[in-house]
Amino acid sequence: MSRDELVGVARGEVPADLVITNGRLVNVYSGEIYSASLAIRGDRIAAIGDVGYTVGAETELIDAGGHYLCPGLIDGHIHLGGSQLSMTEFARAVVPHGTTAISTDFYEIGVVAGRKAIRFALEELKATPIKVLFNIPPHAYLGHGALGNTNSISTEDVFEMLGWPECTGLAEWNVFVASIPAPGVRELTETAREKRMLLGGHFGDVSSAMANATAAIGIYSEHEAMSAEEALDRLRLGVHIQAREGSAGRDLRHVVKAITELGVDSRHFSYSTDEQEADSLVLDGHVDHKIRTAIRCGVSPMTAIQMATINAAEYFRISDDMGSVGPGKIADILLVDDLAEFNVTQVIANGKVVARDGKYVGEPKTPAYPGYFYNTIKIAGVTVPEDFAVKSPASSDGTASVRVIGVNEGSLVTEDRHFDLPVRGGNVQPDPGRDILKIAILDRYEASGRIGKAFVQGFRIKAGAIGSSFNPGQMNLMVAGTNDRDMSVVANRIAELGGGYVVARDGKILGELPLPLLGLFAEEPAERVVERLQGINQAIATELGSDFPGLHTSVAFVCLAVSIPTLKVCDRGLADVRVMEIVDMFL
Amino acid sequence: MSRDELVGVARGEVPADLVITNGRLVNVYSGEIYSASLAIRGDRIAAIGDVGYTVGAETELIDAGGHYLCPGLIDGHIHLGGSQLSMTEFARAVVPHGTTAISTDFYEIGVVAGRKAIRFALEELKATPIKVLFNIPPHAYLGHGALGNTNSISTEDVFEMLGWPECTGLAEWNVFVASIPAPGVRELTETAREKRMLLGGHFGDVSSAMANATAAIGIYSEHEAMSAEEALDRLRLGVHIQAREGSAGRDLRHVVKAITELGVDSRHFSYSTDEQEADSLVLDGHVDHKIRTAIRCGVSPMTAIQMATINAAEYFRISDDMGSVGPGKIADILLVDDLAEFNVTQVIANGKVVARDGKYVGEPKTPAYPGYFYNTIKIAGVTVPEDFAVKSPASSDGTASVRVIGVNEGSLVTEDRHFDLPVRGGNVQPDPGRDILKIAILDRYEASGRIGKAFVQGFRIKAGAIGSSFNPGQMNLMVAGTNDRDMSVVANRIAELGGGYVVARDGKILGELPLPLLGLFAEEPAERVVERLQGINQAIATELGSDFPGLHTSVAFVCLAVSIPTLKVCDRGLADVRVMEIVDMFL
């Protein structure tokens, strides 16, 4: 879009392509709401206010009918792997909810298939109405060794990606990560800082001294705050808070109390998703859902909308392009019929109508995926139940004292819990009566037959097994269940599908979602993915007995052996994140 | 400063260099005030909060004694020529008031002596505690031709300066300026935008269509708003408001009503000075004075301080370095004993104490100026009174109908006024009885003898003449007075001094301030400059009869023939800014 044409429209010398009349402008820049019209030329806004003079013979007119006009919504931190949707289908799912920009890393893709696959996905997403703020979480690729990396991406790759025009900087960064003794990690931090790129943070539950240290190296955002107090502590250090609301980390309701109860300046708050499952994205919503949640928690609609727009845009230093509705900005505009309910009725992105009444307009074209996106689950042949046995060190019947991964609903932080578990035939048994499952991680890259095993408490599964090929860290093949037979059935079926989510009980598959693209993404449309997830979740609820919300994401994060405390599991066995080591499960 | 050392201090492994205890932190980032201590290492803050653990044997301790701890203050838009002080003396004058960063252009220097002189001044200022955000006003150098440029700086020079690491972008930019048909002007805008540099604006009193057009080309700041309504109009377009409070443009009190009365979000407001005379800088204060003024106008102390710190830093996208007090930020910290009075008692810049109780600590070293800084006033020999005569077109006695430049106190905008002026001996006379002076601009570059003349109303001078070699636009030699004899005396003395401010009456010099450096800056210390200015102002008040505040700056702006409406004067004669042409003074 030539700026000359914008100037021409503003001066009444060139007609607008699109004029939206009769709207109530939510001006997040001035903090006001007032009646206004907008003139758009190409992909940008040319003028706001009384713009009748910009209408020409060819100008398309949209009567907003008194609806609110809001800027497009920005997700400050999302990993797309958790959605099970291809890039195209992700866009088709969230654009009708008003999302027009996301900050994301494609790291699951990078972990499985390297830099070229990230580039492919980035191009796929860029072909949709969504603007991509690309960031790099180097620790996902470097320096964690066998517990956390797949060696799919080298230091050179990371430096290369840092130079991509879409790249805003590094992410998930903190003092621990910045001091990983991997080649290039120190230089990465310095290079990003010199280029004035953003160092996105992942503070976690750290001491005041460590939080100060993390801010001192220049990390000025945090999406891991889980309470108002934690948010306040970071905020006081000059750290922008991305309040998280995803399938497993549902921190927003707590974090916004810093605004509603502690009364701090709200401008340095925005939203993040981290991970959100497809059914929730489609049915609950995406950033619009976070706005509604914030408003329900007592945040004013203006502030809740500013968090999703201008606050995020100013943090990412892209406020000259997006985050508000004004001349010169990209024409990403939502029509919203009620501010408190934040019901998006129409979405304009890059100056074009892309969604109406919750439906995507037109059919986005899914690209032909390269061959290396398929058949990526490589395990050592078909498993048998015995592969999942956990031998007791005493090798006799009775009980064994075991360190168990303790899970709490709504949090990604696990606990180090200790239980005496029953031993039968020399094998330690899960104990569904005390909500303790067995969990196993199978190497999917080298067909090595390597299986790491542990016990986990808290998922409320009473029978059968679940499994998936999506789990942060290494994206290995994970199964969890009450018995080895169902775990083996699930593992074999996931391998057969080339990736997916599978639920089984009594040797029978009860539901499945094939994820043939890198073992991470469905090839089916979002609606079908949602149906399958609903089928799976129904089976888990009725046949496996669990009502744990965000179950898939929560189980997946138990496999992230190098980040977010405390006990985790990977294909090498039980891991303690505090020491970044494999530990003995037996006490 | 190595970030490792900062991390070491925060983690308690390396001692702090300086710890400030017992302060009340004005946390502009969170919008809170609370008790806190700070640990500093080198030039940056390492930790805030309870930092006793960072004190080592060598750590310097400052007991803040309950004083407030504020971030260093940022001036978003100042031209230094108006201060009459060398860069070093400017710093010595404003640092004790809490200024630690300014956005400036050195344009007067560039107009007189070109790019190398700008570089020299930039280095001089960088050697002080002040951080410099350098910007370029291309129209000051390009495209205005004989009315406005001195050809001291080429298009190539401007592109070269755009690449300097200190450069933040272009300034004083708008649709008119961006469309100047000078070589390179269009490319300058595009290059700056591509490099994501800032396009600082100068909207002025324009129509809604033109304001939209100016925002549409990506100009997102405005320091010319003169009322709350004008500020609101710009703000609604997504334009950051730099509320001006200088010697001539005193708009802050009006502009802040947008916050106090219209209730808009204050985060996109900061301060600008434009031009401020040395005596006012030293005695009234600099950004601290703007904070006090805003508070007196009903702005809360937190908001008034945010405007001078985090708001400006976020606009300039330097908030990772300055604008708040937090770990990782440059240690620019003020001790303030009372928030509403905003009395700065101590200034720490780059981690060092640089001012106490209004006094600069130590003696900053003035550099040796290059030879081309001296003897820059080149006029065609000594003037005689007859050189200043204005011939009447009728060339007979009686009256002549003349267009007169009309000046209003507190505004840089002039009016096009019409008067019948007395003619004696064929020459049109000033009319002190109706407050109409003669004003003349002498070419100082080519010794051409070119003198532009006009009449000006509003300065309340009843006798004698004033003059100076500082005046925005071309920095020619300006004299204004009630009679040709005193005007000639003043012009000759300024030329003799190699530049300066001079006041005379009845053929006698009543006061003078030599400005031997480029005809713009004094070589004397700030205190002596203030004394001289006070002497000059005293003479103007008692002998010339004028109490016009900000007189020097206001007169100077009457010579800016290419910007800010309406009538102006340059060495070519009376100019009309609306048409950018020399016009006949006779109606």
pLDDT at B248: 80
What's the pLDDT score for residue B186?
Answer: 85
From the list B7, B217, B326, the residue facing A237 with the nearest CB is B326
User: What per-residue confidence (pLDDT) applies to A204?
Assistant: 80
The answer to whether A265 contacts chain B (CB < 8 Å) is: yes
Q: Smallest Cβ distance to A215: which of B210, B236, B328? A: B328
Residue of B nearest to A198 (CA): B320
- Angle among Cα A75, A78, A80 to the nearest 5 degrees reads 125
How far is the C-alpha of A412 from the C-alpha of A205, rounded, in Å?
11
Interchain proximity A216–B46, CB inside 8 Å: yes
d(CA B231, CA B239): 9
User: What would the two tokens of residue B121 be?
Assistant: 């001044």
Q: Which two tokens stand for residue A2?
A: 């030539």
pLDDT exceeds cutoff 70 at A47: yes
Give residue B1's pLDDT: 56
Mean pLDDT of A579-585: 93
What's the average model confidence in pLDDT over B316-343?
A: 97
Residue with tokens 């999406």: A223
Q: What is the model's pLDDT at position B144? A: 83
CB B520 within 8 A of CB B81: yes
B402 burial class (0-12, 13-18, 19+ CB within 10 angstroms)?
A: buried
Nearest to A264 among B3, B32, B235 (CB): B32
What pLDDT score does B350 carry? 98
pLDDT at B441 over 70: yes
Task: Please write the tens of the pLDDT for every residue from B372-399.
Answer: 999 999 999 999 999 999 999 876 789 9
Region A117-138 average pLDDT: 97
- Calpha distance B553→A554 (Å, rounded): 66
Contact B30 A212 (CB under 8 A): no
What DSSP string runs through A88-120? HHHHHHHGGGTEEEEEE--HHHHHHHHHHHHHH
pLDDT band of residue A354 (cuts 50, 70, 90) is very high
**pLDDT number for residue B394:** 78
Q: Can you tell me the distance from the alpha carbon of B131 to that of B199, in angstroms, rounded to the nearest whole number?
A: 20
For residue A180, pLDDT beyond 90 = no
Between CA A277 and CA A285, with CA A281 as vertex, the angle to 5 degrees is: 150
Q: What is the mean pLDDT of residues A447-467?
A: 97
Q: CA of A309 to nearest chain B CA: how many angstroms apart?
A: 13
B1 touches chain A (CB under 8 A): no
Residues of A in contact with B220 (CB under 8 A): 320, 328
CB A463 within 8 A of CB A545: yes
pLDDT score, position B493: 98
- Is the CB of A326 less than 8 angstroms away from the CB of B215? yes
- Report the chain B residue with the minimal C-alpha distance to residue A25: B236
pLDDT of residue B532 exceeding 60: yes
Q: Which residue has the tokens 């009450």?
A: A482
Under an 8 A CB cutoff, do B213 and A11 touch?
A: yes
Alpha carbon distance, N-terminus to C-terminus of chain B: 66
Is A48's CB within 8 Å of B237's CB? Answer: yes
Per-residue model confidence (pLDDT) at position A171? 94
In B99-118, the residues whose Cβ lies within 8 Å of chain A are: none
Does residue B123 register a pLDDT over 90? Answer: yes
Q: How far apart are the C-alpha atoms of A538 and A547, rounded to whole Å?
A: 9
Q: Minimal Cα distance from B269: which residue of A?
A: A30
pLDDT of residue B328: 97
State the average pLDDT over residues A519-544: 97
SS3 A112: helix
Complex-level ipTM: 0.93
Residue A1 has pLDDT above 60, yes or no: no
Give CA–CA dist A345/A338, Å, rounded: 10
Q: Is the pLDDT of residue A532 over 90?
A: yes
Would you call A48 and B236 a contact, using CB atoms and an 8 Å cutoff?
yes
pLDDT confidence of residue B326: 97
Residue A358 has pLDDT above 60, yes or no: yes
User: How many A×B Cβ pairs under 8 Å?
Assistant: 165
Interchain pair B235, A210: CB under 8 A: no
pLDDT of B176? 78
Give the mean model confidence (pLDDT) for residues A66-74. Answer: 98
| Partner A contacted by B264 (CB < 8 A) | yes
> Is 70 exceeded by the pLDDT of residue A17?
yes
Of the candidates A350, A335, A367, the one whose C-alpha atom is nearest the C-alpha of residue A100 is A350
Residue A516 pLDDT: 98
- Overall average pLDDT of the A172-196 stretch: 85
For testing the chain B interface, which of A28, A55, A212 should be mutated: the one with the most B CBs within 10 Å? A212
Which pLDDT score, from 0 to 100, does residue B569 have? 96
User: Which site among B35, B45, B255, B267 would you substitute to test the A interface, given the most A Cβ atoms closer than 10 Å to its Cβ?
Assistant: B267
Question: Contact B29/A268, CB-based, under 8 Å?
Answer: yes
Q: What is the pLDDT of residues B253-265, one digit of tens each?
A: 999 999 999 999 9
pTM: 0.94
Q: B31 CA to chain A: closest CA distance, Å?
A: 5
Residue of B nearest to A330 (CA): B216
Which residue has better confidence, A36 or A1?
A: A36
Is A55 within 8 Å of chain B by CB?
Answer: no
Cβ contacts (< 8 Å) between B53 and chain A: which residues? 209
- One-letter amino acid for residue B55 of the chain: V
Question: How far off is chain A from B42, nearest CA to CA, in Å?
Answer: 13
Q: State mean pLDDT over B135-152.
A: 89
A97, amino acid identity: H
* Local confidence band at B180 (pLDDT 50, 70, 90 cut-offs): confident
Listed range (A394-398, A452-456, B548-552) with the worst mean pLDDT: A394-398
Question: How confident is residue B94, by pLDDT bands cut at 50, 70 and 90?
Answer: very high
- The pLDDT confidence band at residue B178, using thresholds 50, 70 and 90, is confident
What's the pLDDT tens digit per position in A539-577?
Answer: 999 999 999 998 998 999 999 988 888 999 999 999 999
The gap from C-alpha A466 to its chain's centroid, in whole angstroms, comes to 21
Nearest to B238 among A9, A238, A324 (CB): A324
Closest CA of chain A from B180, distance in Å: 13
Residues of A in contact with B49 (CB under 8 A): 208, 212, 236
What band does A444 get if pLDDT is binned at 50, 70 and 90? very high
Structural contact between residues B141 and B156, judged by C-beta atoms closer than 8 angstroms: no
Residues of chain B found within 8 Å of residue A173, distances taken between Cβ atoms: none
Could you read off the pLDDT of B468-509 as tens digits, one per residue? Answer: 999 888 999 999 999 999 999 999 999 999 999 999 999 999
pLDDT of residue A395: 65
**Mean pLDDT of chain A, nearest integer:** 95
CA-based Rg of chain A, rounded to a whole angstrom?
A: 24
Pull the structure tokens for residue A359: 């439906």
What's the confidence (pLDDT) of residue A431? Answer: 97
Q: Token digits for B515?
A: 């400005």
If 0-12 CB within 10 Å is exposed, 13-18 middle and 19+ buried, where does residue B583 land? middle
Contacts with A1 (C-beta within 8 Å, 6 or more apart), sequence order: A41, A42, A43, A44
Tell me if B47 and A216 make a contact (CB, 8 A cut-off): yes
In sequence order, what DSSP letters do the residues of A461-503 get, joined into one string? --SSEEEES--TTT--EEEEESSHHHHHHHHHHHHHHTSEEEE
Q: Which of residues 160-179 of A touch B (CB under 8 A)?
A: 175
Q: What does the pLDDT average to over A514-527?
A: 97
Query: What confidence category does residue A411 fall into, taking pLDDT thresholds of 50, 70 and 90?
Result: confident
Give dist(CA A185, CA A139) in Å, integer: 9
